[in-house]
Amino acid sequence: MSKFLIVGLGNIGDEYAHTRHNIGFDILDFLAQEHDLKFRPDRLADVAELKYKGKQLILIKPTTYMNLSGKAVNYWMQAEKIAIENCLVLVDELALPFGKIRLGPKGSDGGHNGLKNIQEVLGTTAYPRLRFGISNEFGKGAQVNYVLGKWNDEEQKTLNDRIRIAADAVKAFAFVGLARCMNEFNTK
């Protein structure tokens, strides 16, 4: 059975729950709920396992805080013996319009501290990621409050639909591979 590590980036703690920066956690929570799974506390992360069409997906929500996400990613890749090309990182993206999804095999950290740490720990920018657009509708100097803020009323109207599409993309990544997944979901 092929194994995949699916990493939802976010920060632990109630004050960060359901904020833009925690969209990675929210996508994994949606997948877990959809498949009646429960996360359990484990080393450096909350973990759930999803068996889907002959594939095993290890879902992790790092408990290291965003700036140390690489520590959890590296540990779980080693512990589960998962190759980097079978690791998908779910992350919020300021440079994309709200709800837009972009999958890719590599890329820069774009100033995102979680991606920056993963890159430092793994020593490469070549790992698959799913970027979820949170847009950049904030004034000068307000970026931190914006990304750590809750979704606005307009975003709330379609947020669950966009999260469902992202969750479908995660399953497609494991089942049909990154290239086909990109073709299907980067246009939605």
Give me the number of domains the chain comprises: 1
What does the chain look like in DSSP terms, one character per residue? -EEEEEEE----SGGGTTBGGGHHHHHHHHHHHHTT---EEETTEEEEEEEETTEEEEEEEESS-GGGHHHHHHHHHHHTT--GGGEEEEEEETTS-TT-EEEES----TT-HHHHHHHHHHT-S-S-EEEEE------TT-HHHHHTSBPPHHHHHHHHHHHHHHHHHHHHHHHH-HHHHHHHHTT-
Res. 110 pLDDT band, cuts 50 70 90: confident
Tell me the per-residue pLDDT of 11-56, one tens digit each, with 9 for 90 and over: 999 999 999 999 999 999 999 999 999 999 999 999 999 999 999 9
Q: What's the pLDDT score for residue 87?
A: 97
Q: What is the pLDDT of residues 77-99, one digit of tens each?
A: 999 999 999 999 999 999 999 99
- What pTM was estimated for this model as a whole? 0.95
Q: What pLDDT is stored for residue 150 in this prediction? A: 94
Which CATH number is 97's domain given? 3.40.50.1470
- Is 58's pLDDT higher than 70? yes
For 39, the domain range is: 2-185
Per-residue pLDDT, 137: 84
Q: pLDDT for 121-180, tens place per residue? A: 999 999 999 999 999 888 888 888 999 999 999 999 999 999 999 999 999 999 999 999
Band (pLDDT 50/70/90 cuts) for residue 1 is low
Which positions are catalytic? 21
The C-alpha atoms of residue 120 and residue 151 are separated, in whole angstroms, by: 30
pLDDT for the residue 187: 82
Q: What per-residue confidence (pLDDT) applies to 142? A: 84
